[in-house]
Amino acid sequence: MEYKKGSVLSGIKVLDLGQVIAAPYCTEILSNMGADVIKVEMPGKGDSCRASMPMKDGISTYYLAFNCGKRDITLNLKSEKGKEILTKLIKEADVIVENFRPGVFARLGFTYERLQEIKPDIIYAAISGFGQDGPYSKRAGYDPIAQAMSGIMSVTGVPGGQPVRCGASFADVMAAQNTAMGILAALRHRDLTGEGQMIDVALADCCITALASINQIYLTDGTVPQRLGNTYAASAPGNNYATKDGQIILLAGNEKQWQKLCAILGHEEWTTMPEFIDNKSRVAHKAELDALIREATGKFTTEELLSQTLEAGLAVGPILNVQEAVDGPHFAPYREMYPEVQHPQLGKIRVTNQPIRMSKTTPYVRSCAPTLGQHTDEILAELGYSGNEIHEMRETGVV
């Protein structure tokens, strides 16, 4: 087995039949850990996000973001020859990942039972909006729908305002990460027992798990959580505050932090005011408290306030836009969160990295995302098809 630094999954073969983010990002994580990921796409069309913005020179960099390090084959899975080739790929695979609507893969002839017949120890991961069973299971389940129906949107936004979706594809990314974690656990189980298994991950379930601290309010006393903006139900102060030239987010919920903040802002008298005397009182009077703090922070530049609050050990940070995060002194040079990859047409482009760092097997981006069908001939040759057979498949629209 070839083993390089960060290639803990060397020797593991993964079939990616996914679209858009959840399944493709899951398999990209596995690729970054060293798995051989083969992405299967429809001839001439491919993953629907190949047409998604942003674009550069007619190429979707949205697609590139979630498909690095993979090989790519085009297969018409509605043709019998395409199904034959997929069956051969499954026989050699360890893991299959898809995010079709429940029932679609089965209608193509690939039920979990059929997959087990082809490869008894296969690990099959199906990602969907609401899971493989239950009254919502057949619904189209996109990220915003999962955020809406899990409760996330109901607690996101300002008090009295409209529910707000998280600006990023939060549900998709969490589903991808949770599926990857399930696959790693299933591989370990297979090592111990020789058994494969099916993994069922729902975008909405992932949102519900992320909402655990908020759910607990209702689960404890029946109170329905509401939108709080950037404040917190359990502590104060904690919010975004304007400076002379920007915005910071600042938390000072315990008594020691509160006293330090009052000293920095030049208002030690706040610590003895009855309405701010302890955390419970500050939470009850948070609107009044935030108004006073904003008046005080507005007298500082962002750098002045950050310097003093950071020196005091407070939890504080500037509210950065994406450009400021990418071009800043921490995430790119030290955390390597925006690596460069080489694209055959675009040249060097930057993508977003995995957040995992390990002392011996840190995942890394092996290569740029493949062009549509880039490795079709290579993969078919590995399966034993001749050049003439591959040519015929192209002529008949199988690949």
Task: Enumerate the CATH 3.40.50.10540 domain ranges in the chain, comma separated.
Answer: 13-210+336-395
Give the per-residue pLDDT at 104: 95
Give the per-residue pLDDT at 3: 59
- The Cα 281–Cα 253 span in angstroms is 11
- The Cα 91–Cα 113 span in angstroms is 14
Alpha helices in the chain (DSSP H): 22-32, 61-65, 80-92, 104-107, 112-118, 143-150, 170-193, 203-210, 212-221, 255-265, 279-284, 286-297, 302-311, 322-327, 376-382, 387-395
Q: How far is CA 284 from the centre of its chain?
A: 36
Closest to 204 (Cα-Cα) out of 135, 158, 157: 135
- Choose the CATH number for 13-210+336-395 among 3.40.50.10540, 3.40.50.300, 3.40.109.10, 3.40.630.10: 3.40.50.10540
Q: Does the annotation mark 172 as catalytic?
A: yes
Tokens of 126: 């199906």
- In tens digits, what is the pLDDT along the chain, a chain of 399 residues? 455 677 999 999 999 999 999 999 999 999 999 999 999 999 999 999 999 999 999 999 999 999 999 999 999 999 999 999 999 999 999 999 999 999 999 999 999 999 999 999 999 999 999 999 999 999 988 999 999 999 999 999 999 999 999 999 999 999 999 999 999 999 999 999 999 999 999 999 999 999 999 999 999 999 999 999 999 888 999 999 999 999 999 999 899 999 999 999 999 999 999 999 999 999 999 999 999 999 999 999 999 999 999 999 999 999 999 999 999 999 999 999 999 999 999 999 999 999 999 999 999 999 999 999 999 999 999 999 999 999 999 999 999
Give the per-residue pLDDT at 1: 44
The arrangement of secondary structure in 238-318, i.e. its CATH architecture, is: 2-Layer Sandwich (3.30)
Dihedral sign for Cα 283, 289, 294, 299, please: negative
| Close Cβ partners of 305 (under 8 Å, ≥ 6 residues apart) | 243, 248, 264, 297, 316
- List the catalytic residue out of 16, 36, 172, 200: 172
Give the CB-side neighbour count of residue 314, counting CA atoms within 13 A.
30
Give the per-residue pLDDT at 233: 84
Q: What is the pTM of this model?
A: 0.94
- The Cα 197–Cα 385 span in angstroms is 30
Task: Enumerate the CATH 3.30.1540.10 domain ranges in the chain, comma separated.
Answer: 238-318
Give the per-residue pLDDT at 2: 55
